[in-house]
């Protein structure tokens, strides 16, 4: 186990609703990245937070937003849910230098189903 925890493990929402997913990073890690993994696909980068600020963003619309807290835990918020948002959402934590960026530890993910 990596020490990265995510909650909830599963979630069912309806189209148009909003959802908040949570991630606790591994001890000593101050960088959190979020990924979306659609069924049968590789993870796709959503965004990254470093010391409570967004440090980079992938090709996702603004209705995907996030927060990082002083204890380096993080939230992913998705507004106006669409059916295509159904996926496994993964967070990964790492240290803050470029070297440690390479060693990202993934949590088990939250599986979101949008009906």
Residue ranges in contact with other proteins by CB under 8 A: 2, 4, 33, 35, 40-45, 48, 55-56, 58, 90, 92, 98, 101-109
By beta-carbon proximity to other proteins, the closer residue of 62 and 98 is 98
Asked if 34 contacts 23 with a C-beta cutoff of 8 angstroms, the reply is yes
Give 45-50's long-range contacts (Cβ < 8 A, gap of 24+). Answer: 46/76, 49/74, 50/96
By beta-carbon proximity to other proteins, the closer residue of 41 and 79 is 41
CB of 34 to other proteins, least distance (A): 10
How many helical (H) and strand (E) elements, i.e. helices and strands, does the chain have? 1, 11
By beta-carbon proximity to other proteins, the closer residue of 20 and 44 is 44
């Amino acid at each position: 186990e990596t020490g990265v925890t995510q909650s909830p493990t599963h979630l069912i929402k309806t189209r148009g609703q909003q959802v908040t997913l949570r991630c606790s990073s591994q001890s000593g890690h101050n960088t959190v990245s979020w990924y979306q993994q659609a069924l049968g696909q590789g993870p796709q980068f959503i965004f990254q937070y470093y010391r409570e600020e967004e440090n980079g963003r992938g090709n996702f619309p603004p209705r995907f937003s996030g927060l990082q807290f002083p204890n380096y835990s993080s939230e992913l918020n998705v507004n106006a849910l669409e059916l295509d948002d159904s996926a496994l959402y993964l967070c990964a934590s790492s240290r803050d230098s470029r070297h440690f960026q390479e060693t990202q530890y993934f949590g088990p993910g939250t599986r979101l189903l949008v009906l």
